Structure 1
């Protein structure tokens, strides 16, 4: 896998070993919590996930990936920091650029402003989470941490939305 953030290969190998050990202890735990406990970035954990795991894209694909996600209908957007896990369900507005920001406004509860130039990598994540398959798209900054994540919605039966899942699996950049 490409070293998207440009860190050295020796340090990268050591981080990967720590990530694998942390994942062995918590194979379907919260990525940010596993990373913090191991002293790693979330990206280190994502890169160590077992198959199907994580496919990394360059952050320069922000526009293409965002526009794809904006066509999926209702998704779950999550912003996870040390202090809050904020979840917002809705459609992603198409967005426009002005004053140095990617601005998202429209007929959705999801709105705001994104510094898209800070997006260094985009991770397509497919992994178990609390015993169920979970698929999401992570927009990662230069520290290997999630700016935000977009998750495929679940139906009343807890199954992943079939149309969104097919589109996620077909993402090929």
Structure 2
């Protein structure tokens, strides 16, 4: 939906009100409840909470994530479940229509990187705690997967990863 159409039918205002009513809640729930794409919700988050870059930066962003020290939380969130894996982001290469992940990590598989429309750097509260993630969104407006800054045993964000996240976001991924 174009920005003009959103203004005419009040979608953007409705979404902003839904986010304001539950500022640390699950954004997929807001998208489902409001009948919009996940990306539409990301696009109306308060200033600074969501910074978007083009999907064409996929390999560059992935390669930067490979260099992060320690473990991240890799999440795939579908209508049927939320799947989480902790580990280091392994390297990958393009071949046979996929970005193929390989390395010594529990994170592995094959990604249709050509379907990545945008990459969002999200920094927002989630159930009362700061949460930082890099989220890859497809052309349908759905999250392909998300990479969350890791947390230590004290449940605090890994300071080194936060610094790298902020540097990538500031540098334009």
Question: Offset at 1:12?
Answer: 3.4
| Cα distance, 1:51–1:9 mapped onto 2, change above 3 Å | closer
Corresponding residue SS for 2:18: helix
Q: How many residues align?
A: 167
* 1:166 alignment partner, one of 163, 167, 170: 163
TM-score when normalising by structure 2: 0.92
Whole-angstrom CA distance in 2 between matches of 1:110 and 1:132: 25
User: 2:6 matched to 1:12?
Assistant: yes
Normalised by the length of structure 1, the TM-score is: 0.92
Q: Do the aligned partners of 1:29 and 1:130 also contact (CA within 8 Å) in 2?
A: yes
Match of 1:4 in 2: none
Secondary structure of 2:76's match? Answer: strand
Q: Offset at 1:22?
A: 1.2
CA offsets per residue over residues 97-125 of structure 1, 9 Å max, x none?
Answer: 11111000210000000000000000000
Q: Which of 83, 90, 97 is the matching residue for 2:80?
A: 83
Structure 1 residue 127 displacement after superposition: 0.1
Quote how far apart the aligned CAs of 1:51 are. 3.4
In structure 2, distance between residues paired with 1:11 and 1:36:
19
Q: Does 1:135 align with 2:168?
A: no
Q: For residue 41 of structure 1, what is the aligned residue in structure 2?
A: 37
Aligned equivalents of 2:58 and 2:133: distance in 1?
A: 15
Would you say 1:112 and 2:126 are equivalent positions?
Answer: no
Q: Secondary structure at the match of 1:120?
A: strand
Paired residue for 2:53? 57
State the distance in 2 between where 1:145 and 1:17 align: 21
Query: Gaps (5+ residues) in structure 2?
Result: none
Matched, 1:125 2:125: no
